[in-house]
Amino acid sequence: MLLNRQEDLHIHCNYNDHSDADLTSSNIIQKAEQKKLERIAITEHVRKSSVWTRKYVNELSSQASRSKIRILIGFEAKILQNGEIDCPEEYLCGDYFVIASFHTRYTKEQWYTALIKAIENPFVNVIGHLAPEAGFVLSDSEIEKIGEYLIENKKIIELNAKYVRPPIQFLNIFKRQGVKFHLGSDAHSLKEIGNFDRINHLINLIEK
């Protein structure tokens, strides 16, 4: 499977409090154009309680209409303990690009159950920076079960450059099963956009 290095499908912007101040939508698009990217996804962190989402969507829609690059408008949302996605319901409709990721530590049982429910969510497109927590490991059979759910629910696994994930154990099994992958920088600064140097070894593993 060849991965498209001219796509970066996980980019943040300055609608959060821990990205660089100059990570504006217009600067993101300009940087992507300079790097000759073909498609990007701007996927800001979101919560169900976020109040800036309409302004964000309108801003990105306006920028996207003027760019030669294909721009996906979306969100990165936490996978909650009950498997729900921490995103306002109005954006879980199929019109937006949604990455579901863990940002809270759970027990193995909680993590596994929540992940499966997130995978089954029809409005989730991608599982972001997937890896077990430091306190537990997964057996090959448990990973295979995840892979089966990913394929059944047509979900994509992201090769994440910020966290260098998923682990090689996961990738070997998922690749054998036929799980689909794409690249995401998880950029929180302009210099990180389209930069996948940290995961060259993971890309090579998938492509060989």
Average pLDDT over residues 48-62: 96
**What average pLDDT does range 55-62 have in this prediction?**
96
Say if 2 falls within a structural domain: no
Q: Is residue 37 in a domain?
A: yes
Asked if residue 190 is part of any domain, the answer here is yes
Structural domain includes residue 18? yes
Number of domains in the chain: 1
- Which range of residues forms the domain containing residue 160? 7-207
pTM for this one? 0.97
What pLDDT does 18 receive?
83
The C-alpha atoms of residue 15 and residue 46 are separated, in whole angstroms, by 9
pLDDT, the chain, mean: 96
Q: Helices 168-177 and 140-152 sit at what angle, rounded to 10 degrees?
A: 50
What is the CATH number for 156?
A: 3.20.20.140
pLDDT at 203: 98
